[in-house]
Structure 1
Amino acid sequence: MMSVLLGWVLALLWVSAAQAEVLVQPDFDAKKFSGLWFVVSMVSDCKVFLGKKDHLLMSTRAVTATAEGNLRVHMEFPGAEGCHQVDAEYLKVGSEGHFRVPVLGYLDVRVVDTDYSAFAVVYIYKELEGALSTMVQLYSRTQEASPQALKAFRDFYPTVGLPDDMMVLLPKSGACSAGAKEAP
C-alpha cells in the first residue's frame, strides 16, 4: 500500500514539474487574443480523443477578454446532429496567458505561442472521465493554417510528449455559423 501511495505522489510531482516547464506567450495580451479562432489541428493522448479523432471536424472559439484578465469563450463543435455550443470562462491563474477552466475539466491551459493575427498554439492539461491527459490545439484566424503556424504547432507538441500519430488536421465543416456569435 505504501509503495502505491509513493508511486502516486511521485507521479503527481512529475506532472507538476512537467507542467511548470510549459511557458506561456511572453507579454500575453488578452485583448489582442480576443476574436474568432478556428481550431484547425489537435494532438492529444486522451483516449476519448484518440477514439474519435478521425471523425472530428474544425471547430471555432469566439474569445472575449474580461477586465479581470479572464477569457469568455464561446465554442462551436460541428457534429452529425448539427452544431453543439458551449460557453466557458477561462479563469486567469498567475501570469497572463495561463488559465484553468473548471467547467470543462481543464486543469491547466496555456497560450504558449501566438502572433495574435494569424495563429495560436494552446496547451491543455485536463481531466476527462477520471483520466488525466494532455492536448495541444492549433488556432488560426482563418480555416487555412499558415506554414508558420503549422511549424510552431509541430515544433511544440513533441516537447510535451505527444507523438505525430496522435495529431489530426481537422477538415472544414459548414455545420456551425463559423463562430459568428461573440462570447457572452
Structure 2
Amino acid sequence: MALGLLCLGLTLLGILQSQAQDTTPTLIPSPSLSKVPLQPDFQDDQFQGKWYIIGLAGSSFRKGRQSQYNMHRTIYKLNDDHSYNVTSTLLRGQNCDLQIRIFVPSVQPGQFTLGYLPQYLPGQSYTVRVVATNYKEFAMVFFETKFRNRVNFRTTLYGRTKELSPELKQRFVNFAKSLGLTDDNIIFPVPTGLCTVVSIWKGLAAPFKGATEDVKLAEPGSMLPMAAHQRSLRDKVAQLPSLPILCTY
C-alpha cells in the first residue's frame, strides 16, 4: 500500500515524462479553466482514434532540452458511456513506456477528468479540456494537474499525421503564449520510428525512474468503484504480452 501511494503521488505531481527532471523550474501560474477555450459542440466519436504529439508547451518544458523529447502517439478509444480509454506510447531513448488511462466526461462536452482517482489522496484533480479541433487534422488539448498546493499545466498540439502546417503550429504557439508561456516553454518533438516497450503505466500508477517492472492497479475497494468498461480495461492490461514489445509509429 505504501508503495502504491508513493507511485500515485509521484504520478499526480508529474504524470508527464518531462516532469521527471533533476531540477524543478519555476512554475507559471495555471490559468483559470473559465479562460481556457472549449471546442464548441464537441463530437466525441469524431475525436477518437490515433493522434501524434506534434507540439508541447508548459512551464516544465525547456526549448534547450528539446532533443530529450521525441514525438509519441496517443490513441483515444470511445466507450459506450462516452469516456475514453487512452493509450500513449512514450519514447525514452530507444525504449518506450506504455501509458494506459481512462478519461471520464466532466461538466461540459469536451472536458474530462482522469479515472481511477484514489479516495485516500484528497485535494487532487486532473482535468483535460479540448480547446480546438477539426477532428481530421489537428487538436489542441489543455491538461491541468492539481495535487495539494501544486498546480501544473500543459497544452498539447495533436496531429492525425506526423506533420502539420506552419499555420497550425503558429496557432498553437499563440495559444500557449496566451496562457503566460514563452517561446522557451514551447517545443516540437522530432518524429520517431520503432521502439521497444520496457514498462507499462496502468491507470494512475507509474513506474519509478529506471524501473522496468509493471506497477499493478490498486485492489478494488481502495479506489473509486469501477464501471464495467473500467474492469474490462483492467483485465485487458493484465493480459498484455510479456515485455519487451516492439511498437511502430
Quick check: TM above 0.5? yes
Q: Give the match for residue 109 of structure 2.
A: 96
**Structure 2 residue identity aligned to 1:99:** F
- Aligned partner of residue 31 in structure 1, secondary structure: helix
Residue by residue, what CA displacement relative to the aligned partner does 1:65-87 show, whole Å, maximum 9, x if unpaired? 12222111110011125111011
Report the Cα offset of residue 52 of structure 1: 5.5
Q: Calculate the aligned-residue CA RMSD, in Å.
A: 2.6
- Separation in 2 of the partners of 1:106 and 1:136? 16
Report the Cα offset of residue 106 of structure 1: 6.1
Residue by residue, what CA displacement relative to the aligned partner does 1:132-170 show, whole Å, maximum 9, x if unpaired? 212010000001112342133122112211111101110
TM-score by length of 2: 0.59
**Structure 2 residue identity aligned to 1:44:** G
Q: 1:128 to 1:99 in 2, by over 3 A?
A: same
Amino-acid identity (%): 25
- Separation in 2 of the partners of 1:73 and 1:136? 17
Structure with the greater alpha carbon radius of gyration? 2
Bigger strand fraction:
1
**Structure 2 residue identity aligned to 1:122:** V
TM-score by length of 1: 0.78
> Which of 65, 68, 76 is 2:89 aligned to?
76
> Which of 25, 41, 61 is 1:27 aligned to?
41
Matched, 1:42 2:42: no
- Where does structure 1 lack aligned partners over 5 or more consecutive residues? 1-13, 180-184
Contact 2:173 2:186 in 1 (8 A): no
**Structure 1 residue identity aligned to 2:164:** A
Matched, 1:163 2:177: no
- Separation in 1 of the partners of 2:74 and 2:125? 16
- Aligned partner of residue 141 in structure 2, secondary structure: strand
Contact 1:113 1:152 in 2 (8 A): no
Contact 2:176 2:186 in 1 (8 A): no
Q: 1:175 to 1:54 in 2, by over 3 A?
A: same
Matched, 1:56 2:69: yes
Matched, 1:18 2:37: no
Q: 1:172 to 1:106 in 2, by over 3 A?
A: farther
- Aligned partner of residue 122 in structure 1, secondary structure: strand
> Which of 159, 163, 180 is 1:140 aligned to?
159
Q: Give the match for residue 11 of structure 1.
A: none
Q: 1:106 to 1:122 in 2, by over 3 A?
A: farther
- Separation in 1 of the partners of 2:86 and 2:162? 18
Q: 1:33 to 1:58 in 2, by over 3 A?
A: same
Bigger helix fraction:
1
- Separation in 2 of the partners of 1:129 and 1:165? 27
Q: Give the match for residue 241 of structure 2.
A: none
Contact 2:73 2:89 in 1 (8 A): yes
Moved over 6 A (4+): none
With a CA cutoff of 8 Å and minimum separation of 6, indicate the structure with the bigger relative contact order: 1
Q: Give the match for residue 214 of structure 2.
A: none
- Where does structure 2 lack aligned partners over 5 or more consecutive residues? 1-28, 118-123, 196-246
